[in-house]
Amino acid sequence: MNELDQYDFDLPRERIAQHPLATRSDSRLMLVNRATGQIDHSHVRDLPHWLRAGDALVLNNSRVIPAKLVGYRTQTRGRWQGLFLRADPGTGAWEVLTKTRGTLQPGETIMVQDRSGRDSMMLRCVARTDTGHLIVQPESMDQWSEISRDPFTLLEQFGRIPLPPYIRDGQMVDADLTDYQTVYAKATGSIAAPTAGLHFTESLLRSISKREVQISAVTLHVGIGTFRPIASEQLADHKMHSEWGSLDAATCDSLLECRKQGGRIVAVGTTTVRVLESAVVHGGGTLTPWTGETDIFIRPGHRFGGIDALLTNFHLPRSSLLVLVSALAGRELIMRAYHEAIAEEYRFFSYGDAMLIY
């Protein structure tokens, strides 16, 4: 039996949100009670009502970088697209996931165009990795001008937000520069948004604080693996992608104190879950300060030690994120909730609505 088939569902295309709501917190909020199996309906703006004094709300403060690059091969004028993955701090060379016709050769150059379509920067091909990614060296367009050595400065100038393909076929508009970013984004490094956090406004965060709910932050830089589906039929055969995360000592201490006082740790988004559960694994079963790369794959049978509740968006069928929320609430309850969300015309995926599993 194909185990992955148990995490499949049919989603009408019109249920995939293409734009966020004008006010982020107006998104609908499905309430899923793990103990009773009851499903209720509310709005994200009412989240303070569903949190308790003494709870801790944990956010992922990673900031999305405009990692998508668009341009053309200077030799053939053929269109080119790339996705910045990382930079070598020593050489300044970039590792880029590429999409183009033909094979780029060492020494060949690419002209990157900015968001207005103007020629802006050269990339000189250096080599290819074993995984087929391209190693390129940024260069100025002429010998008279200089170019920054900081990759994030260049991406902010010339890059585009790498929207997932189910949003307008990946084509960004100017509004995405702010829409596809949480209001509390701070630590630069993600190539995709921690989307559960997109529902929050400054006003909503203030309202939550007034309820005597502790608001804390961790960091997990979302990587290219977030777009990759599970390819194996059995979950145990799936190799999870690796992402960098961090839970500092002060935040860890405050979360442990929250638990000690009877409060709940409420994670905002599956990326926050990955940090907290990785910290538990690192601590041998106890929430412990942690920084590093994690390839944790949370699936049914996982014993959660870092969270008590989860605010999350509705995820793609057959995805590792759908498996994660099923591990928390049980597959049958989650699939029932998803079918009810479709019937009630909830909006799905990154710009869509949310659920609170508690």
Q: Give yes or no for residue 212 having a pLDDT over 90.
A: yes
What's the confidence (pLDDT) of residue 238?
Answer: 92
Average pLDDT over residues 209-238: 91
What does CATH list as the number for 3-64+174-357?
A: 3.40.1780.10
- Alpha-helix residue ranges (DSSP H) falling in 295-351: 320-329, 331-343
Environment class of 80 (CB within 10 Å of its CB; exposed 0-12, middle 13-18, buried 19+): buried
Q: Give yes or no for residue 1 having a pLDDT over 80.
A: no
> Would you say 218 and 58 are in contact if contact means Cβ atoms under 8 Å apart?
yes
Average pLDDT over residues 35-49: 98
What's the confidence (pLDDT) of residue 141?
Answer: 85
Domain 68-158: top CATH class: mainly beta
Residue 310 to residues 31, 298, 358, Cα–Cα distance (Å): 10, 14, 7
The two tokens of residue 254 are 């405050």
Percent of the chain at pLDDT above 90? Answer: 91
What's the confidence (pLDDT) of residue 227?
Answer: 66
Average pLDDT over residues 246-269: 98
The full set of domain ranges for the chain reads 3-64+174-357, 68-158
Considering only 98-102, 145-149, 354-358, which range has the smallest mean pLDDT?
98-102
> pLDDT band at 101, cuts 50/70/90?
confident
- Alpha-helix residue ranges (DSSP H) falling in the chain: 47-50, 151-158, 176-179, 202-210, 249-260, 270-282, 320-329, 331-343
Task: Give residue-wise pLDDT tens across range 111-140.
Answer: 999 999 999 999 999 999 998 899 999 999
Q: Give yes or no for residue 64 having a pLDDT over 80.
A: yes
Q: ∠166-169-172 over CA atoms, to 5°? A: 105
Q: Give yes or no for residue 241 having a pLDDT over 90.
A: no
> pLDDT band at 95, cuts 50/70/90?
very high
> Would you say 154 and 122 are in contact if contact means Cβ atoms under 8 Å apart?
no
Q: Give yes or no for residue 7 having a pLDDT over 70.
A: yes
Helix or strand (DSSP H, E) at 39? strand 39-43
Q: What does the DSSP assignment read for 249-288?
A: HHHHHHHHHHHHTT--EEEESHHHHHHHHHHHHHTTSS--
Task: Give residue-wise pLDDT tens across range 266-306.
Answer: 999 999 999 999 999 999 999 999 999 999 999 999 999 99
Residue 158 CA to residue 121 CA, distance in Å, equals 8
Average pLDDT over residues 9-29: 98
Q: Give yes or no for residue 334 having a pLDDT over 90.
A: yes
pTM value is: 0.94
What does pLDDT average to over the chain?
95
Same fold: 3-64+174-357 with 68-158: no
> pLDDT band at 224, cuts 50/70/90?
confident
Q: ∠337-343-347 over CA atoms, to 5°? A: 80
Average pLDDT over residues 318-331: 97
Average pLDDT over residues 172-185: 96
